[in-house]
Amino acid sequence: MPNVYQGNLNGSGLKIGIAVSRFNTVITENLLKGAVDRLVSFGVADLDIDAVWVPGAFELPQTLHIMEKTGNYDGVMALGCVIRGDTPHFDYVCGAAGSGITRLGLSSETPVVFGVLTCDTFEQAQARAGVKSNKGIEAADSLIELINALKTFSQ
């Protein structure tokens, strides 16, 4: 039999860092609420969640990098919403957020998840920041599962 490892959704005792972008706040405040409510439902204590508002999705990787370096968190999460406009700006912001957060995951031992919406329209973003379908909820699920799955391998 192989050794098979998988995480669970027990959040008790875990400390979580969140960076959330203010750009498209109507959307991102719903992502944050979805994520925080879900984390608490898994047993994460309110006071063990730190959420930092930053200007836009471009700023998410550096913010999480600085938060991660404190060593205070079992896992960190990026929340944001980028909506396509008329210029290539969208591609630069999405690319920087995605690759920056990927690099953070590869250069640290701390589990990191990507809860950034990258949408063509505001309506698409709204549909993914609601009560039932919410990228913040998904990010919370992913982070708690990942933290617990990787615990076995941490030094």
CA distance 110 to 146: 10
23 binds ligand INI (CB under 6 A): yes
Active site residue 89: yes
Q: Least distance from C-beta 68 to ligand INI, angstroms?
A: 20
Q: Is 114 helix (H, G, I), strand (E, B) or coil?
A: strand
Per CB under 6 A, contacts with ligand INI among 48-87 are 55-59, 80-83, 85
State the SS3 of 81-102.
Answer: EEECCCCCHHHHHHHHHHHHHH
Q: Which of 8, 13, 41, 89 is catalytic?
A: 89
- Give alpha helix (H) positions in 45-150: 60-69, 89-107, 122-127, 135-150
93 binds ligand INI (CB under 6 A): yes
134 binds ligand INI (CB under 6 A): no
Site residues, ligand INI (CB under 6 A) = 21, 23-24, 55-59, 80-83, 85, 89-90, 93
Instruction: Tell me the catalytic residues.
Output: 89
